Structures are given as C-alpha cells and as structure tokens.
Amino acid sequence: MTDTDSTDERRPAGELEAAVMAALWAADGPRTTAQVQAELARGLARTTVTTILTRLYDKGVVGRDRQGRGFAYFPVQDAPGLTARRMHTELDRDDDRESVLARFVAGLTPDDEQLLRQLLEGGDA
C-alpha cells in the first residue's frame, strides 16, 4: 500500500465508488483505468482504481470492453438507476419487507410522500 492509499481505509463506505461513477458519468465514452485515475486527481494508486472498477463491474454497475491489454469501463446505469438499485438491494436484505417499507415511507417528507403516491397511482410526477 502506498502513502496515498493509506487514507482510503478511513473513507466512508462507497465514497471512492461514487467518485469513480461520477467520473464515468461525466465522460464522453468508455475510460481506461489510467484515464479514470487521472480524472479523479486524488493521488490514488492505479491498483486502487483498478480494484474499484473491478468491484463495480462485478456488481453489474459498469460494463467494460477490452482495450489493448486492459479494459475501458462505462456506466450501465444512470445515477437515479443506481440509487434505485441500492434501495432494492437494501430492501432484499431484510425478511420483513413490510416494516422496512413502512419505516421508509414514515420518514418521507410530505412532498416526497405526495410524489410517491403519484408514482404509485401511475400519474406523472
């Protein structure tokens, strides 16, 4: 591990993945590990960026195409799609879906609750 990576252990979960996804969403096409590393400008080791991209690929969040000896990565979901996927993943982790959904809805703002009602009724938000 390099000195620049020593702070990675203290980062909130998902912070680096979010930064990599932001770089990929902002890109005008697939990006290699080196290109993502340069766009992050955080002093991350190439191996760290490779690990993050590989984990995102394994999760089905990014796709990749062979480019030379490595890969070029691209997002397969937009930001709202990724958030929805995370919500489904969390919901699937609990056997008591009703309680989870009830607590989620109870924590919504009145505006978000109204929006959710409109979406559930099939109307435009």
Per-residue pLDDT of the chain (125 residues; tens, 9 = 90+): 444 444 445 566 588 999 999 999 999 999 999 999 999 977 889 999 999 999 999 999 999 999 999 999 999 989 898 889 888 888 999 899 999 999 999 999 999 999 999 999 986 65
- Report d(CA 83, CA 68) in Å as an integer: 32
- Per-residue pLDDT at 41: 73
- DSSP code, position 59: T
∠ CA 59-98-92 to the nearest 5 degrees? 15
> Any idea which architecture 3-75 has in CATH?
Orthogonal Bundle (1.10)
- Per-residue pLDDT at 2: 47
From the list 80, 95, 7, the residue with the least C-alpha distance to 44 is: 7
- Report d(CA 106, CA 40) in Å as an integer: 37
